[in-house]
Every structure is written in structure tokens, then in C-alpha cells.
Chains A and B, each alone.
Chain A
């Protein structure tokens, strides 16, 4: 069979990224231009600044990727682009750039959902097996997605309020850690002990999650202790917080694995870089003899490699967009 080369473009938040992936599994070349340092000065992503930087960088990143791959647009089979969800002004730049290339070179344009990208980041390291279950954990998502077969997505549960990454960032703020604080909470948690009696959030029969209660419990605890003049042990607090998060995530995930007779657990999204989650799921999957895929750290954050990988499967299924492809801030995974 002829090799399929997908050029992927990702610009949904604060990373301008372009990648070429062969047959949905081989990363030929990837370029990621992160704006993280700029946004760090503002304590979070500023959408207008992000859009401005994407415009400045887009052609440079595409060129660099082609140069790195030693390829031209003529070698590309199709162009995959993140059309949503994400920051609308940021998404637009990638979508418009992809439509332009698609029109000029008469290459198929393949729309890719950002989360499908995160899930298929796993296929870059090990071919995914089905039925699979994806645990998507990021700053915007905490979802359990059942995948009966290739590129089919059925959400069986999700967060009812804050995403897990959001809860981490808020706890980081209470702990006075700099942006982006999630990874620092993770790091700090290993230096402490689970001494604070925090609640296990939404421990019910559903596959849904809720982190606002846990987050509020942390905030209230810090305030109360401060009012009493007690010093907070941040290492112990972050450890207690992380333990609750890991406990509920792994508990519901393991239950779903059994109920749906899953062959492959796939962890995806920025928070899959969290060491507590990685360690616990690795341990549990080993016990239950379930194939576990967690992307290596470089594929956990936003990148176009995962979009090109997912784009390959979408392309094979015949998913196509016209030149009038719309970027959408919020859209269901399908």
C-alpha cells in the first residue's frame, strides 16, 4: 500500500505547531512553537495575544517542518487541521492556513477534533487496540471515552464542573505557585504526606467527575488555617489533593475497563503528564493485565503530531472538509 503522509496543523491555544506523520504512526518531522513564556507574564493565556502570535509564526513553522522532513507540499497526501475546540481566534489561523494550502495544492482537507488528536498521540508509540477506553485529562477536559473501533468515540462520562487541569491550576494559585502551576503541584506533592482529610469527589455509580468540591475544600482549608494563624504545609496539602484526584480518576477508569471489556486503556491530554496519574494507572493496569498507553511527555502537551496521526485515521474514513471549514470554540467529539 502506498504510504500516506499527513501534514497536521494545530493552533487551538498557545502553541503553533506543524507536523508530518506517515501512516498515522511515524513522526517524520514536528515543529512546535510555544508561546508559553509570553503568556506566563500575564498569569495565563491571553487569547488576543495568542492569535497575534499565531499569525506571525504560521508560515515559519510550516516551512521549518517541511525543511526538517526534507519534503515539499507535493509529497503530502492530505492536510489535517484542528478545527476545535479551543480559542476561536487561535483556531482560525490554523484553519485558514490549512484551507489555503489545501486549495493551492489541491490536497484533501481533513478536520480533526483536538481531543481525537490527544487520543491518537498514543498511536505514535504503539498501535492502539480496540475496544479501547480513553481517559482524557487536560485543562479543559476530564472525559472517559469508549472506542469500540478505530476512530469511533462514545463519551461515557465527563466532568460536571471543573476539568482536572483547571482544579490543579486553582490549587496552584492558592499555594502561590507560578503559572502554569499544575505540574508544580504534581512535583510538590511528592515531597509531602497525605495528612489533610480532603473529600473524595463524586464517588458514585456514574462515570462522571466533579472537581469543584475538592477545589473548594482546598481553598477553604487554606483560608481557615490562615485565619487561625496556622501555617499550611503545602507539600502535605498538594499530596493530599493529588491523592484524591488520582484515586477517583483511577477508580472510575478501572470500573469502566471491566464493564466495557476494554483491551487498551489510552490516557490523553496535558494532565497525562501527571506523575501520580501515570504511576497509579500503570500499577493498576499491570494488576488487571490491561494494555496501557500513555503518551511520552513530548506528546502530552499540544502538538500537531497528534493531529496528523488522528488525521490519518479520519482521512482513511473519508472525513473531508471543504474550503469553508469553520473553526469552532466548542464542539463534541465524534
Chain B
């Protein structure tokens, strides 16, 4: 079973090609700008480094959020386009669960992404990536309850957070047998309405 892994949900882009649970190629790179124009060239480089073509993969794992709205859209657009046109299976993954693959001593990982104005996107996972608290958009201080048995893992500047060290194999293994979704129906998981929608909702 060959798969392509795509994560463009933060400034840290990762692309990997796997055979079963073995990584054949992996690139992780900080990318502050131009994720959209780098993604296809990076996928091309990835397949130049393995001895098969993009059409030979069976499955695509794509991180569909939460995170940078634009970043998530770039990865999701590429992934659903490939999955639809080449008739490949597609499995969405959570960016927070991906952070939670970081190995730590505590029992739980409080995965967090700074959503600004005192809010975070956060999810709490145990060491086997079981969900303790589902991914949510919430005020930072509401994470306190989870810090007794856990530690914050985040790329962002959040008090007490440790730097992620993501493990692609771990998340891929966990979701290897997930039911694939219809590529047409795959959407980014923003976890947050647009400001215009929020304002409108308040008025109603």
C-alpha cells in the first residue's frame, strides 16, 4: 500500500511518500511564504526520489486543519484534485492530532495552535492518539484543566509549550484503515466561521 502524505496547515510544510508504514521519502520545511507555489514542485521532487509515479499510489493522507486558512486550502485542493482525477482514496487528518504524535513523558498531549486574540485551536490526545478532548476553537485558559496530565505541544509562542516533533508514521498507522471520504466532499476543517459569518450570526 503506497501513500502520499501532505501537510500544509502551518508554516511547516511536510510531504512524505510511504509504502505501508515505511517512509520512502520525507521533506519537512519551514515555509513562511509561497506555500501555494511550492507545493506541486515539492510533490514532483518527492516522486523523483522514489521508483514509482504519482499514479501508483493507493491513498492520500491530507491534513485538513485546523490551522492557516490559506495553507489548509492549498493542501486540501491539491489532495482532492489528485484523489478525484486519479481515483485514489483520500483520508483527512487533524493538524492537532499530528502535533500530538510528538513523544512526551506525560500521558496526554495538549496540541495547540495559536488562533490569536487569546484563543487557540486545541485538541487533547493520549499517547496512542485516542481523543481525550476533540479539536476545538477555545480560549487559551480553558486548556488549564488538561494540563495536570498533559503538556502543551505547539509551534507557536504559548506559555509552557514544547516544540513539536511530529511522527508521520504514527498518525498514518492510526488511520490506515479509516474509511476514505469522497474527494468532492472533502473540506478544510477551519473550526472557525469567517468574521463576516460571525458578525452576521450575532446580528440575527
Interface residues of A (CB under 8 A from B): 41-42, 46, 48-49, 51-52, 55-56, 58-60, 62-63, 73, 89, 92-93, 95-97, 99-104, 322-327
Q: How far is the CB of B183 from chain A (nearest CB, A)?
A: 6
Report Cα–Cα, A97/B86, bound state, in Å.
14
The reply to whether B73 and A55 contact each other, CB–CB distance below 8 Å, is: yes
Q: How far is the CB of B200 from chain A (nearest CB, A)?
A: 7
The reply to whether A48 and B36 contact each other, CB–CB distance below 8 Å, is: no
> Which of chain A's residues have a CB closer than 8 A to the CB of B74?
92, 96
Task: Say yes or no: A99-B194 contact (C-beta < 8 A), given A56-B187, A63-B184, A93-B73.
Answer: no
The reply to whether B70 and A55 contact each other, CB–CB distance below 8 Å, is: no
Report Cα–Cα, A93/B73, bound state, in Å.
8
Task: Say yes or no: A42-B200 contact (C-beta < 8 A), given A48-B195, A55-B76, A104-B86.
Answer: yes
| B78 within 8 A of partner (CB) | yes
> Which of chain A's residues have a CB closer than 8 A to the CB of B43?
103
Contact with A along B176-193 (1 / 0, CB 8 A): 000000011001101000
Q: Give the size range of B's interface with the partner.
A: 20 to 34
> Which of chain B's residues have a CB closer than 8 A to the CB of A324?
37-38, 40-41
The reply to whether B196 and A55 contact each other, CB–CB distance below 8 Å, is: no
| B59 within 8 A of partner (CB) | no
> Which of chain A's residues have a CB closer than 8 A to the CB of B195?
48
* Residue of B34, B77, B194 with highest tally of chain A CB at under 10 A: B77
Select which of B36, B41, B80 is within 8 A of A327 by beta carbon. Answer: B36
> Which of chain B's residues have a CB closer than 8 A to the CB of A103?
40, 43-44, 54
> Which of chain B's residues have a CB closer than 8 A to the CB of A101?
81, 85
Q: How far is the CB of B111 from chain A (nearest CB, A)?
A: 23
Report Cα–Cα, A63/B83, bound state, in Å.
12
Report Cα–Cα, A104/B83, bound state, in Å.
11
The reply to whether A48 and B196 contact each other, CB–CB distance below 8 Å, is: yes
Q: Lowest 9 A-B CB distances belong to which pairs?
A: A323-B40, A100-B81, A48-B194, A59-B84, A46-B196, A324-B37, A99-B40, A326-B37, A96-B77
Q: How far is the CB of A87 from chain B (nearest CB, A)?
A: 12
The reply to whether B37 and A55 contact each other, CB–CB distance below 8 Å, is: no
The reply to whether A59 and B184 contact each other, CB–CB distance below 8 Å, is: yes
Report Cα–Cα, A104/B86, bound state, in Å.
9
Select which of B41, B85, B190 is within 8 A of A323 by beta carbon. Answer: B41
The reply to whether B187 and A55 contact each other, CB–CB distance below 8 Å, is: yes
The reply to whether B188 and A52 contact each other, CB–CB distance below 8 Å, is: yes
Select which of A42, A96, A323, A327 is within 8 A of B196 by beta carbon. Answer: A42
| B197 within 8 A of partner (CB) | yes
The reply to whether A92 and B44 contact each other, CB–CB distance below 8 Å, is: no
| B155 within 8 A of partner (CB) | no
Closest to B76 in A: A55
Select which of A55, A99, A104 is within 8 A of B188 by beta carbon. Answer: A55
Q: How far is the CB of B36 from chain A (nearest CB, A)?
A: 5
| B82 within 8 A of partner (CB) | yes
Contact with A along B112-156 (1 / 0, CB 8 A): 000000000000000000000000000000000000000000000
Report Cα–Cα, A55/B78, bound state, in Å.
10
14 A-B contacts (beta carbon < 8 Å): A48-B195, A52-B69, A52-B194, A55-B80, A58-B77, A58-B80, A58-B81, A89-B73, A93-B73, A93-B77, A95-B36, A97-B81, A101-B85, A325-B37
Task: Say yes or no: A322-B188 contact (C-beta < 8 A), given A46-B196, A58-B81.
Answer: no
Report Cα–Cα, A46/B197, bound state, in Å.
9
**Which residues of B in the span 15-61 have a Cβ within 8 Å of any Cβ on A?**
34, 36-41, 43-44, 54-55
> Which of chain B's residues have a CB closer than 8 A to the CB of A55?
73, 76-77, 80, 187-188
Report Cα–Cα, A103/B40, bound state, in Å.
7
Given contact pairs A58-B77, A93-B73, a sample of 10 additional A-B residue pairs in the complex whose CB atoms are under 8 Å apart: A48-B196, A51-B69, A55-B187, A59-B80, A97-B77, A99-B39, A101-B81, A104-B86, A323-B40, A324-B38
Select which of A49, A60, A102 is within 8 A of B194 by beta carbon. Answer: A49
> Which of chain B's residues have a CB closer than 8 A to the CB of A58?
77, 80-81
The reply to whether B37 and A59 contact each other, CB–CB distance below 8 Å, is: no
Closest to B84 in A: A59
The reply to whether A46 and B194 contact each other, CB–CB distance below 8 Å, is: yes
* Residue of B78, B80, B85 with highest tally of chain A CB at under 10 A: B85
> Which of chain B's residues have a CB closer than 8 A to the CB of A52?
69, 73, 188, 190, 194
